[in-house]
Amino acid sequence: MVRLQLPDPAQRDAKYLASQERLVMMVRLHWAVLLPVLLQTVGAVLLALVVNIAFSSQDVDGDFVTTLLWYFALFMILRMLWKIADWQFDHLMITDKRLLKVSGIFFRKVQTMPLSKITDLTYNRDPLGRLFGYGEFVVESAGQDQALSKIQFLPRPDRLYLTLVDMTFGGAPSPAGDD
């Protein structure tokens, strides 16, 4: 069996680090970011199945409608596969100097914020985030709109929060555990 081996994101994106910069932590966005597209795809396939069964049991000629719905379901499946591939390349890097968010498959997008510019860090977890284990950071800097102002679907947010607070403001206690 041939197995597709993707390159390690830390090695692949080391080119975005400055020569004197040290990578502290790197995380991929939580898998829950894929839930909406997964539910939409399942809904499209179920709709195509139900309409197909309804037309075939009623002896109604609905070939055009069912064909159209199956093409729509195929489109939704391909869209979901693209979102999964995109998720594989989307991650957050925390270095000793900056916060970087790298995304994109063909067109790479690198958003960055120096840790010295962070003036406030808000950490949110909604009930679904507590259940599935993800959170959201709202990063503020001195009166400026930043590219990384809101980072959603971060895994292990308690550990990430303590690491980022320690790197930015200093003196955070070591993490006792995750929620």
**How confident is the model over 87-134, as pLDDT tens digits?**
998 999 999 999 999 999 989 999 988 888 888 888 999 999 999 999
* Residues shown for the chain: 179
> Which CATH class for the 9-29+92-168 domain?
mainly beta
Instruction: For 139-155, write each residue's pLDDT tens digit.
Output: 888 766 667 888 999 99
Do 175 and 159 contact (CB within 8 A), yes or no?
yes
Confidence (pLDDT) at 66:
85
| 35-57 helix and 63-88 helix, angle to the nearest 10 degrees | 160
Residues in Cβ contact with 134 at an 8 Å cutoff, skipping those fewer than 6 apart:
30, 32, 125, 153, 154, 155, 157
Contacts for 176 with CB less than 8 Å, ≥ 6 apart: none
Report the predicted TM-score, pTM, of the whole model to 2 decimal places. 0.76
Among 2-16, 41-55, 153-167, the range scoring the smallest mean pLDDT is 2-16
Domain-by-domain residue ranges, the chain? 9-29+92-168, 36-85
- DSSP E strands in 3-155: the ranges are 23-28, 91-95, 98-103, 109-114, 118-124, 134-141, 150-155
| pLDDT tens profile 22-37 | 998 899 999 999 999 9
